């Protein structure tokens, strides 16, 4: 990672205390970018019904509004990590955050669905740049191993806090100031973070041998994801006979084949191909993808259901979804308490099995107008089970690769999880378009969540029985 830290400790106690405060301020500033990026993925879902009414957007248009951000974020996050190493973490962080803030302003001022989708794509591009760079800054700022571990844990915990308050904050903003405020709120926060990071974080020191940029692989993966996203979102409205849909399918297949060929021949591929010979590494990444498919499909459709069927406004929709979001924070805390007492794969299996049962139960309880206390319990179990699986998933993946490759490994997991959320939202949108009622679509999405979480739980359970592979190049010795 790029050396991009604040000034080291001084022998003078006063200066030492000042340096500690400055390190903590640097953590707060770079974590604020993480907070905005995660908040944006949850706050927008609450604003969807208002966008639909004000912009006359179709369900497919709403899916594109959500997925444009996810698509660019997933496709470019690995490139963001490489750019951080090549050009300096501070430089890329500030550049990415500036793009994110400008794109947020463009979203808030967008006059049409098409303009909003384009601005959302730019938002995701900015997030893909500054998120890997922010972790690089944290790692370099905190040089003491114990202090660094606490800082990284705090950085990661910001995601849970953002996910928890996103629905409520979105509801309050949309009800009070309209859907545009869900985007415009990023502007003042982002400007403060930009100014603070520019002053507090030390200038970049570029590495002697920066990572190569795999342009061919990056282009092929971006095209493949875009074509897949187009197919999933547009198929329900255009139909199976649509030439555009078939062209997108062929482009997705062709670019995926090109990506495999490019990566096999690349001197420095985006991800070392030897990693995919590690069954546990593959299982953990596949589990993360499946979890995000199910979770974000439910999140997307639940917002539409609570507004369209239950008649809740944006504020009450956010409050209704709060138990599921808040339980994510509880699940992360619980995972920290259980580490060392349970193996990572066993903790994952327990969490995913809980969510497997809770997801379909939640949608069934909503459909049968069960007492709200039961719905809240199912929501909380679904969110907590999901969160319980994430920390052990990440730690298991990082254990499978050399320490110097941890950034690439975490970037790959994030890219795959974002691709999963893209597919989940596309599936939920298709269910809403192809069924006669949102209630039916919610039931279908509940079943989807049960299937994807069950698959992830099976992969985790199987990984616990996988024997470590002998050490090979590109794999961590076990």
Among 429, 455, 422, which residue's Cα sits nearest to residue 444?
Answer: 429
Q: Which pair of tokens denotes residue 114?
A: 């098409």
**Secondary structure class of 370 (helix, strand, coil):** coil
- What is the DSSP secondary structure assignment for residue 185, as one 8-state letter? T
* 280 neighbors 466 (Cβ within 8 angstroms): yes
pLDDT tens for 133-161 read 777 777 777 767 666 656 766 666 676 67
pLDDT category at 6 given cuts 50, 70, 90 is very low
Rounded Cα distance between 257 and 221, Å, is 10
Task: Provide the phi-psi class of 56: left if phi over 0, else alpha when psi is between -120 and 50, else beta.
Answer: left
Q: Which of 289, 284, 390, 409 is nearest to 336 (CA)?
A: 390
H or E stretch including 141?
A: helix 113-141
Under the banding of pLDDT at 50, 70 and 90, the label for residue 9 is: very low
In contact, 427 and 433? CB cutoff 8 Å: no
In the chain, count of helices (H) and strands (E)?
15, 0
pLDDT of residue 125 exceeding 80: yes
Q: Which residue has the higher pLDDT, 159 or 12?
A: 159
Contacts of 361 (CB under 8 A, 6+ apart): 378, 381
pLDDT of amino acid 223: 85
- For 238, the token pair is 């255009």
Enter the tokens of residue 116: 């909003």
- Kindly compute the dihedral angle of the four CA atoms of residues 101, 107, 111, 113, in this order, to the nearest 10 degrees: 150
**Burial class of residue 209 (count of CB atoms within 10 Å of its CB; 0-12, 13-18, 19+):** exposed
Of 287, 303, 299, 294, give the one whose Cα is nearest residue 447: 294
Tokens describing residue 266 = 């690349």
Tell me the average pLDDT across 94-98.
92
Residue with the two structure tokens 């940029």:
213
Residue indicated by tokens 């599921």: 324
The yes-or-no verdict on residue 426 having pLDDT over 90 is: no
Q: Name the token pair of 475.
A: 């794999």
Q: What are the C-alpha distances in Å from 366 to residues 163, 185, 309, 398? A: 22, 32, 10, 39
Residue 74 · residue 422 · CB < 8 Å: yes
- The more confidently predicted of residues 434 and 348 is 348
pLDDT > 50? residue 1: no
Is the confidence at residue 98, as pLDDT, over 90? yes
Residue 327 scores a pLDDT above 80: yes
**pLDDT recorded at residue 107:** 93
Beta-ladder partners of 3: 205
Residue written as tokens 């298709």?
Answer: 430
Percent of the chain with pLDDT over 90: 21
Q: What is the 3-state secondary structure (H, E, C) of 78-104?
A: HHHHHHHHHHCHHHHHHHHHHHHHHHH
Q: Report the C-alpha gap between 299 and 318 in whole angstroms.
A: 11
Beta bridge partners of 104: none
Task: Inform me whether the pLDDT recorded for 289 exceeds 80.
Answer: yes
pLDDT-based confidence at residue 13 (cuts at 50, 70, 90)? low
Helix (H) or strand (E) holding 426: helix 406-434
* Angle at the Cα of 394 from the Cα atoms of 299 and 396, rounded to 5 degrees: 135
Do 321 and 375 contact (CB within 8 A), yes or no?
no
pLDDT tier at 104, thresholds 50, 70, 90: very high
Question: How far is the C-alpha of 300 from the C-alpha of 66, rounded, in Å?
Answer: 9
Among 68-72, 362-366, 384-388, 470-474, whose mean pLDDT is lowest? 470-474
Residue found under tokens 């670019």: 255
Phi, psi of 322 (to 5 degrees): -60, -40
pLDDT of 14: 53
In percent, the amount of the chain with pLDDT more than 70 equals 84
Whether the per-residue pLDDT at 432 is higher than 60: the answer is yes
- What's the mean per-residue pLDDT of the chain? 80
Question: Is the pLDDT confidence value at 277 over 60?
Answer: yes
Which range has highest mean pLDDT (72-86, 149-163, 299-313)? 299-313
Q: How large is the average pLDDT for residues 112-132?
A: 90
Predicted local confidence at residue 431, as pLDDT: 86
φ, ψ for residue 199 (rounded to 5)?
Answer: -85, -35
Read off φ and ψ for residue 459, nearest 5 degrees. -65, -40
């Amino acid at each position: 990672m790029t050396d991009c830290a604040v000034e080291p400790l001084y022998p003078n106690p006063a200066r030492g205390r000042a340096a500690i405060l400055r390190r903590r301020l640097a953590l707060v500033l770079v974590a604020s970018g993480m907070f905005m990026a995660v908040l944006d993925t949850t706050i927008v879902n609450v604003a969807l019904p208002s966008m639909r009414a004000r912009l006359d957007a179709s369900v497919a248009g709403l899916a594109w509004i959500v997925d444009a951000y996810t698509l660019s974020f997933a496709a470019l996050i690995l490139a963001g990590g490489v750019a951080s190493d090549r050009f300096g973490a501070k430089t890329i962080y500030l550049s990415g955050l500036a793009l994110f803030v400008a794109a947020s302003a463009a979203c808030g001022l967008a006059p049409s669905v098409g303009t909003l989708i384009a601005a959302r794509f730019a938002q995701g591009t900015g997030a893909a740049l500054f998120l890997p760079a922010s972790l690089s800054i944290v790692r370099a700022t905190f040089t003491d191993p114990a202090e660094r571990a606490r800082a990284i844990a705090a950085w990661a915990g910001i995601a849970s806090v953002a996910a928890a308050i996103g629905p409520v904050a979105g509801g309050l903003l949309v009800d009070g100031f309209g859907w545009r405020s869900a985007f415009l709120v990023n502007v003042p926060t982002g400007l403060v973070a930009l100014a603070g990071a520019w002053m507090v974080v030390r200038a970049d020191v570029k590495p002697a041998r920066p990572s190569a940029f795999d342009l061919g692989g990056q282009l092929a993966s971006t095209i493949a994801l875009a074509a897949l996203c187009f197919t999933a979102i547009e198929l329900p409205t255009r139909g199976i006979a649509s030439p555009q849909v078939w062209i997108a399918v062929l482009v997705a297949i062709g670019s995926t084949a090109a990506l495999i060929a490019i990566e096999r021949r690349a001197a420095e591929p985006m991800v070392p191909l030897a990693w995919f010979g590690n069954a546990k590494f593959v299982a953990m990444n596949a589990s993360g993808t499946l979890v995000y498919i199910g979770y974000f499909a439910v999140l997307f459709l639940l917002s539409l259901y609570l507004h369209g069927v239950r008649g809740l406004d944006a504020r009450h929709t956010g409050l209704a979804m709060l138990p599921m979001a808040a339980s994510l924070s509880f699940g992360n805390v619980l995972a920290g308490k259980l580490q060392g007492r349970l193996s990572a794969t066993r903790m994952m299996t327990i969490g995913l099995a809980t969510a497997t049962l809770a997801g379909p139960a939640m949608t069934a309880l909503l459909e049968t107008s069960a007492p709200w206390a039961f719905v809240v319990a199912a929501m909380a179990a679904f969110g907590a089970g999901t969160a319980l699986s994430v920390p052990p998933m990440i730690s298991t993946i990082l254990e499978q690769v050399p320490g110097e490759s941890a950034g690439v490994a975490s970037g790959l997991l994030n890219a795959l999880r974002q691709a999963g959320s893209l597919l989940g939202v596309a599936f939920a949108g298709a269910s809403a378009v192809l069924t006669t009622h949102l209630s039916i679509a919610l039931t279908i999405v509940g079943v989807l969540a049960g299937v994807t979480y069950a698959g992830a739980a099976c992969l985790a359970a199987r990984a616990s029985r996988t024997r470590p592979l002998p050490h090979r190049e590109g794999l961590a010795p076990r």
